Amino acid sequence: MRKFLRRKHTIYFVAGAAAVFLAASYVHSHCQIPCGIYGDDTRFEIMSEHIDTIEKSMKMIDELSAKKEKDMNQIVRWVTNKEDHAAQLSEIITYYFMAQRIKPVSTAQNDAQKELYTKQVTLLHEMLVTTMQTKQSTDLTLIPKLRGQLHDFSHLYNEKAE
């Protein structure tokens, strides 16, 4: 009888864990449901905050690494923080702007629309590469580059092709 109850509890546990996993993946994917509710200005603010956080993390990693008595726990925490924010920035670039907001051009669209699309996608790709580079180093020269790319993209994004 005890084996049966343990087996029954195990089944409930596995079923519950599966339900939580499936619910979490559904909630995470909500952004790709075409609900039509977009907060472009908010996304630009969030992206800027991610860049600020990546910069602070880089500075803290460098500062903590320069100490004679290194606190490896804190260094690892700042590295993880930097990488998390870079990943979140990459997700906004790809899943928000590239997958939802920047619409592919068709052959029916004029040259100005095609050129705008090409510039926007190219700049987003450059931002992705720079973001990836911030994950791989503490090179602070990447921060103004990333800020400049975000600034340029925000202006380009709000531009209308004639």
99 and 145 inside one domain: yes
Banded pLDDT at 156 (limits 50, 70, 90): very high
| Alpha-carbon span 111 to 109, nearest angstrom | 7
pTM score of the predicted model: 0.77
28 and 48 inside one domain: no
Structure tokens at 143: 């921060």
123 and 147 inside one domain: yes
42 and 26 inside one domain: no
63 and 129 inside one domain: yes
- The answer to whether 149 touches 128, Cβ cutoff 8 Å, is no
| Alpha-carbon span 109 to 26, nearest angstrom | 35
Tokens 């050129």 sit on residue: 115
Considering its fold, how many domains does the chain have in total? Answer: 2
- Domain of 15? 1-33
Convert the pLDDT of each residue in 17-64 to its tens digit.
555 555 444 344 445 666 667 789 999 999 999 999 999 999 999 999
Report the range out of 33-42, 89-98, 100-109 with the highest average pLDDT.
Answer: 89-98
Structure tokens at 2: 């005890």
| Alpha-carbon span 71 to 82, nearest angstrom | 17
Is 115 domain-assigned?
yes
67 and 113 inside one domain: yes
58 and 126 inside one domain: yes
105 and 122 inside one domain: yes
pLDDT at 151 > cutoff 90 = yes
Is 162 domain-assigned?
no
Is 108 domain-assigned?
yes
Report the range out of 3-7, 96-100, 103-107, 146-150 with the highest average pLDDT.
Answer: 146-150
